[in-house]
Amino acid sequence: MKTRAEAWQLVCEFVQDEGLRRHMLAVAAAMRFYAQQLGYDADAWETVGLIHDFDWEIHPNLNEHPMQGALILRERGWDEDTIRTILSHYTEGTGVERTMPVDFALLACDEITGLIIATALVRPSKNIADVELKSIRKKWKDDRFAAGVNREHVTAVTADFSHACCGGQLDLWTHIGNVLRAMQGAAETLQLDGRLAT
């Protein structure tokens, strides 16, 4: 298993867009949170979250991503477990099913970070510390807000994660609250600590 530093080096090599970097850092924070909650390797889960979309800028379509990215990871000596998890976050295109807890967690944490980031960025303070769950609930109901976030998909993959890893006890809004808290803990890394309010 490669280190987080190696994962970040990969991201910096292939991703120049700050928004995409922020997304991957957010997913990494959420993955670390859940690994700690569920008793798994937090470093490994965080690393998977950090690199899961590393090839999106060079393969910005679902005909190539993440399949072509997996080839790059193999060339770079990344382990097959990490590659398999990344392939499983687009089963429709890769044919790789989610089977491990990390697989279900990745998909459950992936898209919802977009709605949380967007909610933080429309606040005057641009500070995720000021975001409350009720604000996200309000934005959730407005399909035009962060329209790229498929609410039905988020609901479905959260339910899958809940059944696979939490005995069916994790409801959607508890999950979103958990991801929000994880991201608030990484506010500085995400540059959502108020510095963008200029």
The predicted structure's pLDDT at residue 169: 96
Measure the CA–CA gap between 140 and 51, rounded to whole angstroms.
26
User: What type of residue sits at position 127?
Assistant: N
pLDDT (tens place) for every residue of the chain, 198 residues total: 789 999 999 999 999 999 999 999 999 999 999 999 999 999 999 999 999 999 999 999 999 999 999 999 999 999 999 999 999 999 999 999 999 999 999 999 999 999 999 999 999 999 999 999 999 999 999 999 999 999 999 999 999 999 999 999 999 999 999 999 999 999 999 999 999 987
The predicted structure's pLDDT at residue 198: 73
Q: Which domains does the chain have, with CATH numbers?
A: 4-190 (1.10.3210)
Which pTM was predicted? 0.97
The closest alpha carbon to 106, from 9, 33, 186, belongs to: 33
Exposed, middle or buried: residue 188 (CB in 10 Å: 0-12, 13-18, 19+)? exposed
Measure the CA–CA gap between 149 and 103, rounded to whole angstroms.
19
Measure the CA–CA gap between 46 and 42, rounded to whole angstroms.
6
The runs of H, that is alpha helices, within the chain are 4-14, 18-38, 42-51, 67-75, 80-88, 91-94, 101-110, 112-121, 133-141, 151-165, 172-184, 187-190
The predicted structure's pLDDT at residue 1: 77
